[in-house]
Structure 1
Amino acid sequence: MNKSNVSGFTLVELMIIIALIAILVTLSYPSYEAFMRRVHMEEAKASIMVKARDMERLYASKRTFTDSSSPATDPVDTEYFTIDFAPGSPKADSYEIIAKPKNPRETQALYYNSIGILSRCNASTMQDCEQY
């Protein structure tokens, strides 16, 4: 009698591996999503800092923040945030920059003022701010 050795995985073993992979993906996705939110916030922070630097250069040359002909006063559109001035800003001696998320599920926005304070706020109300 000739007995052949068949090697391989059974269907049950493959299903167990697939179930383990699904569990690992389910557990790791929230961490990945939180990481990507932090990355997007850091990108918005960098864009705010560039805009603030441009505003400081404008003030150094014109002695005012309200020169509407300067590109420093234009809004900046990134992939995930719209960076613009707060309502009523810029004024002659100060400015406030807000980075509002484009994604309606994103709950946090960034706020920066000419004093140099960067805060993370509730995106819908711009309240409940904490220093970032």
Structure 2
Amino acid sequence: MDYIRAFLVGGTICLIGQILMEKTKLTSARILVIFVTAGVILGAVGVYKPIAEFGRAGASIPLTGFGYSLARGAIEEVQKNGIIGAFTGGIKAASAGMAAAVFFGYIMALIFKPRTKN
């Protein structure tokens, strides 16, 4: 059942991205920013938490999950350390994911020999 819920939530997020790419003139970079910002906003107002609890990896792996991690970390850190936590909390909460992305991206670059598009 966990796999089905992750597929439904993650698939819905990807479907929204695909619709944005095909039906609007937004670039991929703008859609990326929209998803991260949406995750931050939905996390800050408390809407993304139930989605993340229901969809688990389907909600935490897409870019909206990254935005949610940033917002959640900032909110928790502000509660502990005051306003300075707004600047440090998001980075602390999302640092493991960012480090993993850089590490695995580097490994894939070594394996597959990337080159510039023509």
> How high is the TM-score relative to the length of structure 2?
0.31
Larger of the two Rg values belongs to structure: 1
Query: Where is the strand percentage greater, Structure 1 or Structure 2?
Result: 1
Q: Which has the higher contact order (CA 8 A, sep 6+)?
A: 2
Query: Where is the helix percentage greater, Structure 1 or Structure 2?
Result: 2
> How high is the TM-score relative to the length of structure 1?
0.29
